[in-house]
């Protein structure tokens, strides 16, 4: 039982890791506690969202599977923040969670070089400081040259529902109670985190007529660049979601039972996600709010069971019943599954290299919630990178390390390994300093060449991305060449579109950059662009609108590259540098970077801080 790569855990990280390794020609074993739950969506029945959608698009561009499975199993598709700037929009899809799981499992079973085995990993097998395999609960020893741990919430997982606790990795499934010991014995720092989920409701007992209906987009966009867009938009059948609200009665029920909430009694010790708090935490922290949104989401295409997004809780069952029944439209709702909190072990991600290989244990890679992240999308992206880098390592090739200026995946991994996390890490657009360059729609142009070189993207998808890149470039160049003069004919043309007149000769890109300028107006201004599909037209419009800002970000990147090789003197006094914030000084003193390159890779360090440092180093100031 000898393999090239062993992947432990078949959640979203494990799926992407095992598929990447196998597709790169490595004999791969995927170990799962329960084969039927490969790809299970343990929490909300949705993929994507703000910044999370970027991650899914990026892993798709690299050859990952999540986007394709989402397109096949999706039951509603929406673009979030559609009225805001293109850098902060996010794709989100409700999925049929049963179909998602079945599709994922079948892909795993049909992939060459990949075996799926249902066993629990009890411990790792070492030779010195190198991992060489795993031992299962059935006393089977599986050997491998590389091991990837994608254990989700299963490491010493404990479920909390009111005063009741239960050892579980997910409700109804065993936890992995011994694997953490193998990691601790090798000196890895282990912490404790917490996450949770909400009650699930029998859909037939909900009165949707008194709730706000929330439909999908009229022309839904697929997640995968490999899904035919026009056909998808025409044929995809969608279901609505609904919006409900908590009220004063709900809040009182929860508040009157704080003394029974594991979150407040000390029963739960792990730190929960700040940006996805439980309902009891929201009521405690925001008691002045009159109401909180609840999103009632179907879990399958049959819509027999609904997920109450916004009501994650670990309160006792009787309290959950009362608070659910206090919601308008759910007075007679029947709870199918109660909400619960789960605590689990994670590894401090500063124990990792950027390749996701651990620093203290050779050939061991970690991906997903074991690294302190939360969310299917964050996990899947890490899994893909761990699988890729494990396979590259077997070929004695350099790992694929995505930079912060070329992928949200690069931002996330850099944040984790340089800064670490004390709470479940979630991706946000605000974490990416070059987010104008990292738009969802540009993910294939940015990253498909990597996937193609690795053998994870086929010729057709690669050629499509190259064609798209060239069309955008040609369309933008056309606008740059167009010179518009303030003659009567053109002024009248502008007025016919409701646009202000010009007084001097300008390039077309300057007109298109106006906030009021739409895609419809763009085609009137440059009819030659009508030959491109709407997605290409929209990207040309975005490139023109944000030309000045995009160029500034490119200039910042190039300027940084020129002096990142500069060494920082070992006795450099960061506190002597005027213009550095206290936060920047603390980061530099803590990490003591040897070069500006190393300094730039510290999470949260700004390009401006690096520029100030290089000036002080150049003129010889700052040395003690």
pLDDT digits (tens, 9 = 90+) for 424-471: 999 999 899 889 999 999 999 999 999 999 999 999 999 999 999 999
Mean pLDDT, to the nearest integer, of 486-509?
A: 94
Tokens encoding 441: 């729609």
Mean pLDDT, to the nearest integer, of 522-528?
A: 96
Is the predicted pLDDT of residue 482 greater than 50, yes or no?
A: yes
H/E/C letters for each residue in 78-97?
EEECCCCCHHHCEEEEEECH
Is the predicted pLDDT of residue 541 greater than 70, yes or no?
A: yes
Percent pLDDT > 70 in the chain is 99
The residue that leads in pLDDT, 433 or 332, is 332
pLDDT of residue 1: 86
Spatial separation of the C-alpha atoms in residues 431 and 410, rounded to whole Å: 11
Residue 276, SS3 per DSSP: coil
**Angle in degrees, CA 503, 504, 505, rounded to 5:** 135
Is the predicted pLDDT of residue 92 greater than 70, yes or no?
A: yes
Beta strand 241-245 with 293-298 is antiparallel
610: confidence class by pLDDT, cuts 50, 70, 90:
confident
CA dist 107 → 80, 284, 591 (Å): 29, 44, 43
624: confidence class by pLDDT, cuts 50, 70, 90:
very low
Assess contact for 223 and 58: CB atoms under 8 A.
Answer: no
| R_g over Cα of the chain | 26
**Strand-pair partners of 196:** 341
Is the predicted pLDDT of residue 292 greater than 70, yes or no?
A: yes
Per-residue pLDDT of 174-210, as tens digits, reads 898 889 999 999 999 999 999 999 999 999 999 999 9
CA dist 562 → 29, 262, 567, 597 (Å): 44, 53, 13, 10
**Strand-pair partners of 123:** 135
Q: How many helices (H) and strands (E) does the chain have?
A: 22, 22
621: confidence class by pLDDT, cuts 50, 70, 90:
low
Exposed/middle/buried for 388, CB within 10 Å: 0-12, 13-18, 19+?
buried
Is the predicted pLDDT of residue 602 greater than 90, yes or no?
A: no
Residue 341, SS3 per DSSP: strand
Per-residue pLDDT of 16-42, as tens digits, reads 999 999 999 999 999 999 999 999 998
Reported as half-sphere exposure (CB side, CA atoms, 13 A), residue 538 has a value of 10
Beta strand 335-337 with 121-127 is unpaired
Residue 98's region, left for phi above 0, alpha for psi from -120 to 50, else beta, is alpha
Spatial separation of the C-alpha atoms in residues 26 and 141, rounded to whole Å: 19
Q: Where do we find the tokens 């007679």?
A: 332
Report the range out of 413-422, 453-462, 558-567 with the highest average pLDDT: 453-462
Spatial separation of the C-alpha atoms in residues 484 and 507, rounded to whole Å: 6
| Residues contacting residue 72 through CB under 8 Å, at least 6 positions apart | 99, 103
pLDDT of residue 483: 94
CA dist 246 → 236, 264, 284, 406, 493 (Å): 32, 21, 14, 41, 52
622: confidence class by pLDDT, cuts 50, 70, 90:
low
Spatial separation of the C-alpha atoms in residues 541 and 476, rounded to whole Å: 8
Is the predicted pLDDT of residue 56 greater than 50, yes or no?
A: yes
Is the predicted pLDDT of residue 223 greater than 70, yes or no?
A: yes
Assess contact for 412 and 373: CB atoms under 8 A.
Answer: yes
Spatial separation of the C-alpha atoms in residues 172 and 18, rounded to whole Å: 25
Spatial separation of the C-alpha atoms in residues 323 and 317, rounded to whole Å: 10
Domains of the chain, first to last = 2-195+343-454 (3.50.50.60), 200-342 (2.40.30.260), 469-550 (1.10.10.1800), 564-618 (1.10.150.570)
Beta strand 2-8 with 141-149 is parallel
Q: Terminus-to-terminus CA distance in the chain, angstroms?
A: 58
**Angle in degrees, CA 438, 439, 444, rounded to 5:** 85
Spatial separation of the C-alpha atoms in residues 31 and 152, rounded to whole Å: 13
């Amino acid at each position: 039982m000898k393999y090239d790569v062993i992947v432990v855990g078949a959640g979203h990280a494990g799926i992407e890791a095992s598929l990447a390794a196998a597709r790169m020609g490595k004999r791969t074993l995927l170990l799962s506690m329960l084969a039927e739950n490969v790809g299970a969506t343990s929490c909300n029945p949705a993929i994507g969202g703000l910044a999370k959608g970027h991650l899914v698009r990026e892993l798709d561009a690299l050859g990952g599977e999540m986007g394709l499975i989402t397109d096949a199993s999706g039951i509603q598709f929406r673009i979030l923040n559609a009225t805001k700037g293109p850098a902060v929009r996010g794709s989100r899809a409700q999925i049929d969670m049963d179909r998602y799981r079945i599709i994922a499992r079948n892909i795993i079973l049909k992939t060459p070089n990949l075996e799926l085995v249902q066993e629990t990993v009890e411990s790792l097998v070492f030779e010195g400081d190198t991992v060489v395999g795993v031992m299962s609960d059935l006393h089977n020893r599986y050997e491998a040259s590389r091991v990837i741990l994608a254990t989700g919430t299963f490491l010493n997982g404990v479920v909390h529902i009111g005063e009741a606790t239960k050892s579980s990795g997910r409700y109804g499934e065993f936890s992995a109670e011994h694997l953490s010991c193998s990691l601790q014995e090798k000196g890895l720092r282990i912490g404790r985190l917490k996450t949770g989920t909400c009650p699930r409701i029998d859909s037939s007992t909900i009165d949707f007529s008194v709730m706000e209906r929330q439909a999908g987009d009229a022309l839904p966009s697929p997640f995968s660049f490999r899904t035919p867009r026009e056909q998808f938009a025409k044929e995809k059948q969608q279901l609505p979601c609904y919006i409900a609200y908590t009220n004063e009665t709900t809040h009182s029920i929860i508040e009157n039972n704080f003394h029974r909430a594991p979150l407040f009694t000390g029963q739960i010790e792990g730190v929960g996600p700040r940006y996805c708090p439980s309902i009891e935490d929201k009521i405690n922290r925001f008691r002045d709010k009159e109401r909180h949104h609840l999103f009632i989401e179907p879990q399958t295409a049959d819509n027999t069971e609904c997920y109450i997004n916004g009501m994650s809780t670990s309160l006792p069952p009787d309290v959950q019943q009362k608070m659910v029944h206090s919601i308008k439209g759910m007075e007679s709702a029947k709870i199918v599954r109660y909400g619960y909190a789960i605590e689990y072990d994670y590894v401090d991600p500063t124990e990792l290299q950027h390749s996701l290989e651990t620093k203290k244990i050779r050939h061991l890679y970690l991906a997903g919630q074991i690294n302190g992240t939360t969310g299917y999308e964050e996990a899947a992206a890490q899994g893909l990178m761990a699988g890729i880098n494990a396979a590259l390592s077997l070929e004695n090739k350099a790992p694929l390390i995505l930079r912060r200026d070329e992928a949200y995946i690069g931002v996330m991994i850099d944040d984790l390994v340089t800064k670490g996390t004390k709470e479940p890490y979630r991706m946000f657009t605000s974490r990416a300093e070059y987010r104008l360059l990292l738009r969802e729609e540009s993910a294939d142009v940015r990253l498909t060449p990597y996937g193609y070189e690795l053998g994870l993207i086929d010729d057709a998808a690669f050629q499509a991305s190259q064609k798209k890149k060239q069309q955008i470039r040609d369309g933008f160049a056309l606008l740059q060449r167009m010179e518009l003069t303030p003659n009567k004919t053109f002024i009248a043309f502008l007025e016919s579109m409701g646009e202000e007149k010009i007084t001097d000769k300008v390039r077309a890109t300057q007109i298109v950059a106006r906030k009021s300028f739409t895609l419809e107006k763009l085609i009137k201004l440059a009819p030659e662009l009508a030959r491109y599909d709407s997605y290409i037209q929209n990207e040309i419009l975005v490139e023109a609108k944000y030309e000045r800002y995009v160029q500034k970000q490119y200039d910042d990147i190039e300027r940084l590259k020129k002096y990142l090789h500069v060494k920082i003197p070992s006795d450099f006094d960061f506190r002597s540098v005027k213009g550095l914030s206290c936060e920047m000084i603390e980061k530099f003193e803590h990490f003591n970077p040897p070069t500006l390159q190393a300094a730039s890779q510290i999470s949260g360090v700004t390009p401006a801080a690096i520029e100030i440092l290089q000036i002080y180093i150049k003129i010889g100031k700052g040395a003690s």
